[in-house]
Structure 1
Amino acid sequence: MSLLRPGRRAAAVLAAAALFGSLAACGDDANTEQTAGSSDSADLTVVAASSLTDVFKGAGAAYEKAHPGTQLTFSFAGSQELAAQVKQGAPADVLVTADTQTMDGLKADTGMPTVIAKNRLVIAVGAGNPKKIAGLEDLADSKTKVVLAAPEVPVGRYSRQVLADRNITVKPVSEEPSVRAVLSKVELGEADAGIVYKTDVATAPDKTDAITIPDDQNAIASYPAATLKESQHSAAATAFVKWLSSPQAQQIFRTAGFEKP
């Protein structure tokens, strides 16, 4: 059965190839094809914001253990990229973005979203903070190489919001397609600082440090999850989205540094 919408097949083939060429699978390939909506067990494809890469590894393993009939395949990218693929009809079952704005733009394609976690911004710097950056104001120094996510990326939009609120002008040396790309620039020493989520810095403790942004200067990122209307496994997709708000899943998010929804 084709998962693609009439009139979108050609674009969706290309979109699917681009989005799912590097899928990270949780579990073995399924041996049988589930009937759409027939049960809460299936092979599910979950497309999610790149800042969820590490936490979803643990969450996926826990879910599969508790639901032996379900296998999860994850694909991570910037939320704006995921939204573009969904609009083009790329096949998937669940979408999780790093902001409500992106999810709100997909109402025609998704079920009712549920916020499953929240996050905060920090300034990522190299280990030991060699530039002695103390706060947002230091990012305006022309001698400091700052990297930000592109404006259309949720963390890029949040970053510009907090800078504008403080009347701080920053000229980034590059604008990246995802928060993990920003972090990578700092890890590799290609940038002195970058604005990312606090959970991202926690994934690279040996290479980066986090400079806290005070609450009154910060922005809160919300992560909504929703089923995709064209999922061929609607019952299983709904069950997974519901589980993301369960105590077990929430504990996994808390351990990774995410905040309560």
Structure 2
Amino acid sequence: MPRPAHRTRRTTRTAGAGTAALLVLGAVTACSSSSDDPSSRSSSGKPAGTVTVFAAASLTESFTTLGEEFEKAHPGTEVTFNFGGSDSLAAGITGGAPADVFASASPWTMRIVTDAGSASGTPVTFVRNRLEIATLPGNPEGVSSLKDLTGPKLKVVLCDRKVPCGAAAQKALDAGGLDFTPVSYEQDVKSALTKVELKEADAALVYRTDVRAAGDKVEGVDFPEAAEAVNDYPITLLKDAPNAGAGQAFIAFVRSDEGRRVLADAGFLTS
């Protein structure tokens, strides 16, 4: 997307726990200058400067849109994102990576941050999400239920159980009394979906928001067991936020009527 030459949105996706150290090193360079820059503080009390947000991969499209809208509503701000598996992001934060806001895809990955004393205040749930089966366009294998994924000839991808989409998938499988070995476990939901988009897998268990974001690259199949594995998404300001004022303003924007509209349009459950 075209942007003015003097402002650049920095968006990063991480892939696995091994990236936590890189997050720390990269974020220190990116954020330390903004915390020392007078432009990150406004004498009028209005948000200013760079806001660094670590957010679950499934929030990529909706938060990118919200970041753009926030910048329009608050001239002089810039929102920078790190998107990835919630566990990897939590590890980066507890390892010292400077960030202002953390939005996780599950309460238990948020707990990693709160238990380490890295959150400022109590995280709040701002949306919920549920799973869908993503298949190849046209659903050539005729997948119509969760049980169909156990077929011996079907190549299915799951998220790793250490990340929220993987834990949710396991809950859904347990609810259906089902078990199978996928062709691979992926480190975040976008990686799982990409396997289907590239036709390296016949199906994947992902969030319905990711199916919607993929458009005609995949086809979504609802299944009743998904109701047993709905994920709450908490968000919090971080204790050592370099730009706490703008970070708090971003959280308020996410939870505003406008933020809820964007998230609902993406397929999230906002109530």
Please say whether Structure 1 and Structure 2 have the same fold, judged by a TM-score greater than 0.5.
yes
CA RMSD for the aligned pairs?
A: 2.5
Q: TM-score if structure 1 supplies the norm length? A: 0.86
Equivalent of residue 53 in structure 1, options 55, 60, 67: 60
Shift of 1:223: 1.1
User: Match of 1:246?
Assistant: 256
How far apart, in 2, do the equivalents of 1:161 and 1:196 lie?
13
Structure 2 distance, partners of 1:175, 1:61, is 33
Aligned residues: 244
* Matches of 1:18 and 1:232, distance apart in 2: 15
Q: Classify 1:154/1:184 alpha carbon distance in 2 versus 1 (closer, same or farther; 3 Å).
A: same
Give distance in 2, aligned partners of 1:210 and 1:19. Answer: 36
Say if 1:19 and 1:136 are closer, same or farther in 2 by CA, change over 3 A.
Answer: farther
Structure 2 segments unaligned to the other structure (5+ residues): 1-18, 31-35
Task: Note the alpha carbon deviations across 1:187-238, whole angstroms, 9 max, x for none.
Answer: 1111111100001011122210000022675421111111111112112111
SS at 1:163's partner residue?
Answer: helix
Q: TM-score, normalised by structure 2?
A: 0.83
Paired position in structure 2 for 1:6: none
Answer 1 or 2: which has greater helix percent: 2
Counterpart among 206, 213, 219 of residue 209 in structure 1: 219
State, as a whole percentage, how many aligned pairs show the same letter. Answer: 37
Partner of 2:169 in structure 1? Answer: 159
Cα distance between partner residues in 2 of 1:189 and 1:17: 35
CA distance in 2, matches of 1:135, 1:12: 36
Distance 2:89 2:161 in 1: 15
Instruction: Look up the match of 2:82.
Output: 75
Q: 2:40: which partner in 1?
A: 34
Partners of 2:100 and 2:219 in 1: how far apart? 36
Please give the secondary structure, in 1, of the residue aligned with 2:170: helix
In 1, distance between residues paired with 2:79 and 2:236? Answer: 15
Paired position in structure 1 for 2:108:
101
Tell me, which stretches of 5 or more residues in structure 1 are unaligned? 1-10, 24-29
Query: In structure 2, what is the Cα distance between the partners aligned to 1:139 and 1:159?
Result: 12
Change (3 A) 1:167 1:210: same
Counterpart mapping for 1:83-94 below 5 A: 83-94=90-101
67 and 204 in structure 1: CA distance in 2 versus 1, 3 angstrom threshold:
same
Aligned to 1:194: 204
- Identify which of 176, 181, 192 aligns with 1:171: 181
